[in-house]
Structure formats: C-alpha cells, structure tokens
Chains A and B, each alone.
Chain A
C-alpha cells in the first residue's frame, strides 16, 4: 500500500512586507507553510540576504570581514557601492553607528548626511538601523526617517521599552519597522500589539526574535521562531510577521568565527544562516560578502521545486 504523506493545512499566511520603491523593491514573507515545504503551502518570496554597512569605519569588526572590503570600509558610500556592484547585494543594511556615544559620539546631522549619500549612490532598498543607544536613536532615527521619506525603508529597532518615537516617525514617513523581542514570543506579540495600538499597520512590521550564533543557543531562537510561525499559520495575526535576523553581527563576535582564520569565520556565518533559513528567516543581514554569495546560492537551490 502506498504511504501517504501527512500534510498540514494552515489558514493564516505570513504578511508580505515590501521594502524599497521602484525597480529594486523587494518583498519579504507571504509564506503559507513552514520553510520549503512546497507540498503544504507556498513560499512566494525567497528568503533574502542583506549585507551590512556602517556609516563610519567599523572599529570593532573582525579583521577577516574588514579585509574583505579593503579600504572601502573607510568610506560608507564606497563600501555600499562595492556591496552592490562587486558582491551583488540586492538590499543593504545601513547601521548608523557613528552617533553612538561609545563609537565616536558623532553628530546626528553628519550621520543622516552619510545615509542620504549612500541612498543617492546605490539603488537598492535600505534597512536603516540606529546606533543602539536609546536616547541618541530617538533623535537620530526621526531625522533619518524624514530624510528617507518616500523610499519605503525598513527602520529599526523598536523595543518594548522604546518603540513610540520610531513608530510615530515611520508612520509619518511611510517606512516599515523592525520590532525586537529578546527570544520571547510573548513580548514579540505584545510589542506588535502596542505598535498596532498606535495605528501602525501590523503588515508593515518585521520581527526580530533576537539572533545568536551557531554554538551559542541558536536552537532556542529556532524554536521560538517555529512557535511564533505555527501560531501565525493557525490564525494569530499578531505573530504573522516576517522575520529578520542579524546573523553577521552575532557570528563575527564569537571567538570560533573570528579567531581561527577567514575560512572558519565564513563557514560559521554560513552555517548559522543556513540553519536560520530553515527556521523561517525571511531576511538575514550578513557581514562577509563571501558568506552572502554562498548562502544566496544555497537558498536558490532550496527554492527549486
């Protein structure tokens, strides 16, 4: 007797979030089943890989990643252009690090000017991340958001303790938002609801469930993502958002990645990203361009039906 596979039937799709305007616009999400289970549902948009650039020379990045870009890391615009023209990035993540009190405490206006310069030179959609200091970000991100009005960027990062300023400004300027939750599906849901209460369209939220590296509790992130996704599939609209993960940032800070040569570092980043693709990541921000190229090929292969 032929064995019949048991197929799950789900009712709620993941939201589709568009980033960017015009030709280069990309779409995230839209899944109706767990990753790559094409017999159970669809995955209309392939998981994306973004490369990360910063608005200042990255003083704390591991050598193999800095070296991959050469002198371009000293000039954000050159760096961004290199990501696109040389490494084929379809989307960039710009971290406005220069404003952080521990990273030069640069002026907000200068940071915004550099963001505008990047946006002018590269024609790919942008993810824009603040410096990580709440007070500084609450000044910086509204200005950055206004400067990018009409570009339909993905701005971050909103947290449960600090989401109002960013939510209001993205609402006004027409951007999408990254909502952060520290490996906690309850907080993820709560933050999505709080932002929706401010009138922000839940369909413009991308969830960041927190990222970690291979060897540092990645399995827990995986299980949280799976739990949220299964809830979304059975109709919980407050968890039906695409996922973003900052895999580059997390892997290149662990010693296994940064202290045993470039090859191991790249493999570490690829291994982490490959697992997160299977967990349901819709977009991952990587740092090493060769990891990005490899994992993109891997995703293309998985998307063959």
Chain B
C-alpha cells in the first residue's frame, strides 16, 4: 500500500499559519512524523486561503525537502503552479491532479512527460462527480488512454474514483468500491488506484472509525494507494491487517512491526 501523507495542507489552520509566518519548524515536524509513520509520498497543498499559491507552494516544497527525502504530491488546481513546482522537486513528483477533461489532461500529461512525473487522474469531468460506477469507469478509461497517448507508463497513473462524504452521498460509498474493482480491469497491468480517504468522513462524527472502516473495505476491493493521515495509528494498523488478510504480505506473529520495518 502506498501511503500519501495528507497533513501538509492549508485546510489545517496550523499549516495556514505556518505558511503565513514561514514557520519551518512545524512543517519539518509534519513531514518527518508522516514519513516515520509510513508515508512514502507527501501531499503538499497550500489550501484555499493562500494569497500567493505560487510562492507559498514553492516555500512549502523547499522547506519539506530540507528535512525529508520522499516524493511529493503537488496538490493544486492551478497548472502554472504545478509547472513551477515540478522544476524544484528533487524526487519524482506526483501531480495531484488532472480530471478527465481533454484540455486539462493535455496540459497535465504534457507536463508529466516533460518532467518525468506521475499523475493522479480523477474520475470526474466538466459535468461533475459521476453518480454511477459506469460513468466513473468510463472516465477512468479516458484518462488511461490519454496518458498512454502521451507516452506515460500505466505504472505512473493513479486513478481516483472520488470517494464522497458519507453524510452527503451515502449511496456513493458502494459505487466507489465497485469502481475500484472495475478500475483494476481497465488495463493490464492494472493502474494504481487511490482515494482521498478523509473525504469519506468529512463533516461526520467518529471520523477515524469511518476512515479506517472504509479503508479496509477499499483494500478488499483492490485499492493500492490512499491519501490519508498516517499519524492515525489505528488507521494504519487496520490497513496493515487488511493487506495481510488480502494476502499482500506474509503473516508472522509480529506482523505490525514487520510491516513498519519494511
């Protein structure tokens, strides 16, 4: 399972403040703690309140890269910001994200090819988030085809079926799980499949419980990557157990330690 750590995000007040004050210490802590807890990629998002996303993103990336040596997921809707960030990332970056609109795909995949980056492709287009698995799979296929057209490898594409908040779109929970199953059959080898896990519990109570339950169900459906809070130990424990039961790892009595030592 690939964990993309979600905590460096301007949605969190502390991060917004750190960005405004250029407080490196907090960002260093968040980066180091997430990597220590198992994140192999860190998401970087300045949040919706940034007055200057370009310079804020650049500062975040430079700050993170001073202390950890992992790939970064460049989480921005602005293509010009992504382009600038791709020039300064030391490790192979993940562009977060494109949707299935031709125009955006052309620009994002073009950039990814040029900078040797990976891409998260959201199963969503101009008409919004699909409400059925069929539409999601169709958009997934469109994204894969376009990526291949640009000469990207399937290994470098993460398809995201768009997990929806349980308290707003309860029926979508199962649709997304079924989409994960069908994404695996879009091509061979199967693409990577990712969800933004915390979305599921957005605005709900008992968020940690909802997150880890959904993660386990999604792993059973074939999820290979998640953007999540790696510091939620119960969540990561559940993930390790689910992967074990899914026969992704060999059991031993110390299976939690064994996974974390990997």
Q: Is A193 a contact of B250 with CB atoms below 8 Å?
A: no
The B-contacting residues of A in range 183-214, CB under 8 angstroms, are: 185-187, 189-190, 193-194, 196-197
The B-contacting residues of A in range 225-252, CB under 8 angstroms, are: 227-228, 231, 235-239
Q: Is B261 a contact of A186 with CB atoms below 8 Å?
A: no
Q: Which 9 residue pairs across A and B have the least CB separation, nearest first?
A: A189-B252, A190-B252, A193-B254, A231-B250, A186-B252, A190-B253, A186-B251, A238-B258, A193-B258
Which chain B positions have C-beta within 8 A of A231?
249-250
The answer, among A194, A196, A197, A227, for a CB contact under 8 Å with B250, is A227
Q: How far is the CA of A185 from the CA of B249 in the complex (A)?
A: 11
Which chain A positions have C-beta within 8 A of B261?
193, 196, 237-238
13 contacts between A and B (CB under 8 A): A186-B250, A187-B252, A193-B257, A193-B258, A194-B254, A227-B250, A231-B249, A236-B258, A236-B262, A237-B261, A238-B252, A238-B262, A239-B250
Q: How far is the CB of A207 from chain B (nearest CB, A)?
A: 13
The A-contacting residues of B in range 237-258, CB under 8 angstroms, are: 249-254, 257-258
Which chain A positions have C-beta within 8 A of B252?
186-187, 189-190, 193, 238
Q: Which of B251, B252, B261 lies at the interface centre, i.e. has the most chain A CB atoms within 10 A of its CB?
A: B252
Nearest-CB residue, chain A, relative to B262: A237
Beyond contacts A196-B261, A231-B250: 11 other A-B pairs, Cβ-Cβ < 8 A, are A185-B250, A186-B250, A186-B251, A189-B250, A193-B252, A193-B254, A193-B261, A231-B249, A237-B261, A238-B258, A239-B250
Q: Is B262 a contact of A189 with CB atoms below 8 Å?
A: no
A190-B254 contact, Cβ under 8 Å, with A236-B262, A237-B261, A238-B262: yes
Q: How far is the CA of A189 from the CA of B250 in the complex (A)?
A: 8
Q: Is the interface of B mostly helix, strand, loop or mixed?
A: loop
Which chain B positions have C-beta within 8 A of A194?
254
The B-contacting residues of A in range 241-300, CB under 8 angstroms, are: none
Q: How far is the CA of A239 from the CA of B261 in the complex (A)?
A: 12
Q: How far is the CA of A278 from the CA of B196 in the complex (A)?
A: 44
Which chain B positions have C-beta within 8 A of A190?
252-254
Q: Which of B251, B261, B262 lies at the interface centre, i.e. has the most chain A CB atoms within 10 A of its CB?
A: B261
Q: How far is the CA of A112 from the CA of B52 in the complex (A)?
A: 73
The A-contacting residues of B in range 14-48, CB under 8 angstroms, are: none
Chain A interface, number of residues (Cβ within 8 angstroms): 17
Q: How far is the CA of A236 from the CA of B262 in the complex (A)?
A: 6
Chain B interface, number of residues (Cβ within 8 angstroms): 10
Which chain A positions have C-beta within 8 A of B250?
185-186, 189, 227-228, 231, 236, 239
Q: How far is the CB of B11 from chain A (nearest CB, A)?
A: 32
Q: How far is the CB of A185 from chain B (nearest CB, A)?
A: 6
Contact bitstring B191-212, A, C-beta under 8 A = 1, else 0: 0000000000000000000000
Which chain A positions have C-beta within 8 A of B251?
186, 189
Which chain B positions have C-beta within 8 A of A235?
262
Which chain A positions have C-beta within 8 A of B257?
193, 197
Nearest-CB residue, chain B, relative to A188: B252
Which chain A positions have C-beta within 8 A of B249?
231, 236
Q: How far is the CB of B138 from chain A (nearest CB, A)?
A: 28
Q: How far is the CA of A236 from the CA of B244 in the complex (A)?
A: 12
Nearest-CB residue, chain B, relative to A187: B252
Which chain B positions have C-beta within 8 A of A186?
250-253
Q: How far is the CA of A269 from the CA of B257 in the complex (A)?
A: 39
Q: How far is the CB of A146 from chain B (nearest CB, A)?
A: 30
Q: How far is the CB of A224 from chain B (nearest CB, A)?
A: 11
Which chain B positions have C-beta within 8 A of A193?
252, 254, 257-258, 261
Q: How far is the CA of A196 from the CA of B251 in the complex (A)?
A: 17
Which chain A positions have C-beta within 8 A of B253?
186, 190
Nearest-CB residue, chain B, relative to A230: B250
Contact bitstring A83-96, B, C-beta under 8 A = 1, else 0: 00000000000000
Q: How far is the CB of A186 from chain B (nearest CB, A)?
A: 5
Which chain A positions have C-beta within 8 A of B258?
189, 193, 236, 238
Which chain B positions have C-beta within 8 A of A189?
250-252, 258
Q: How far is the CB of A241 from chain B (nearest CB, A)?
A: 13
Q: Which of B250, B251, B253, B257 lies at the interface centre, i.e. has the most chain A CB atoms within 10 A of its CB?
A: B250
Q: Which of A189, A196, A237 lies at the interface centre, i.e. has the most chain B CB atoms within 10 A of its CB?
A: A189
Q: How far is the CB of A168 from chain B (nearest CB, A)?
A: 19
Q: How far is the CA of A280 from the CA of B123 in the complex (A)?
A: 43
Contact bitstring A58-100, B, C-beta under 8 A = 1, else 0: 0000000000000000000000000000000000000000000
Which chain A positions have C-beta within 8 A of B262?
235-238
Contact bitstring A153-190, B, C-beta under 8 A = 1, else 0: 00000000000000000000000000000000111011
Nearest-CB residue, chain A, relative to B254: A193
Q: How far is the CA of A186 from the CA of B244 in the complex (A)?
A: 12
Which chain B positions have C-beta within 8 A of A227?
250
Q: How far is the CB of B190 from chain A (nearest CB, A)?
A: 14
Q: How far is the CB of A205 from chain B (nearest CB, A)?
A: 13
Q: How far is the CA of A71 from the CA of B258 in the complex (A)?
A: 50
